[in-house]
Amino acid sequence: MSWLVTGGAGYIGAHVVRALAAAGLSPVVIDDLSSGHEDFVPEGVPFVRGTILDRDLVERTLRAHEVTGVIHVAGFKYAGVSVQRPLHTYEQNVEGTRIVLAAMADADVQNLVFSSSAAVYGTPDVPLVTEDLPKRPASPYGESKLIGEWLIRDQAVATAGSPHPLRHTSLRYFNVVGSGDESVYDSSPHNLFPIVFEKLLAGETPRINGDDYDTPDGTNVRDYVHVADIAAAHVVAAQRLAAGLPVEAAYNLGSQNGLSVREIMDAMARVTGIAFTPEIGPRRAGDPDRIVATGELAARDLGWVNRYTVDEMVRSGWDARRNAS
């Protein structure tokens, strides 16, 4: 039983690959290395370098490795940049998902775990995000993920009476942090943890964007979840699909409580041993006070649990980043 991980050389995808291998599910990776790293792919895991926009390549890979299902992680994941590059975002995330679905249909592969995003909700004005909340994405990135979910839903309806009906679930999550393997780190120039790490390594002072929000300490409260927990949820979802067990169309992988940016900064100083007082900059346009999701459905079906404290999340990410230096 093998599972194709699109984007399996990236930060999240590489953790999914390791979790699949540990569960005996024989991962296969396809990645164009536009943001991934070939050395993130463990030795012995088949690696196909190429883009998911190449339908023939995706189908050949599915057939050659007798793939049971796909965990579709590949995509352009930068919400802010997507505003400047909407066409690129839609090509990678919408057209890419359409092509993966088409290749799966042609190769009779019927199981799909989709790496979606809590960005599908936009900036909800509720203290806790649930799966049934209205979807109002605030960026082309969020829109592209929602369209991806629609494509998957519609393909499942279209194939329901066929010999190989599409079985699927989408996992929505916010800020993925930390590391479950010191050889894999977050190299994104747009995520909070790597931004702070790079500042500290360069001897510079990290910055907080606004400290006058309606939160206990005035800084944004967000959902921070450990990448190893995210990877584990993907694996359980894949196992349930392969076993024919029921799954929801979508699950939030949320922390239930959230952490403020200042709490993250305090943990950064505490864990790294580098004392600093963050600079305070202006608010970023469109940043809500608080976005935190519940993970109740995922806890019920996928064994979802937050196993890491904030210090452990920072420590694992910091160790992995320094190991890469």
Catalytic residue set: 141
Largest CA distance in the chain: 61
Q: What is the 3-state secondary structure (H, E, C) of 265-287?
A: HHHHHHHHCCCCCCEEECCCCCC
Residue type, 212: D
User: 297 with 131: CB under 8 angstroms?
Assistant: yes
Sole residue written with tokens 């164009």: 32
Q: What is the DSSP letter of 310?
A: H
User: Is 213:220 a contact under the CB 8 Å cutoff?
Assistant: yes
Distance CA(12)–CA(5), nearest Å, equals 10
- What is the spatial distance between Cα 16 and Cα 31, in angstroms, rounded to a whole number? 14
- Name the strands in the sheet holding 2-6, side by side, starting at the edge strand that comes first in the sequence: 47-49, 27-31, 2-6, 67-72, 111-115, 167-172, 250-252
Residue 123, H or E segment: none
Q: How far apart are CA 35 and CA 76, in angstroms?
A: 9
The first and second tokens of residue 239, run together, are 């196992």
Cβ–Cβ under 8 Å, residues 170 and 249? yes
Q: Which one-letter DSSP state was computed for residue 245?
A: -
Give CA–CA dist 116/251, Å, rounded.
Answer: 9
Contacts of 13 (CB under 8 A, 6+ apart): 5, 6, 7, 29, 31, 36, 71, 73, 74
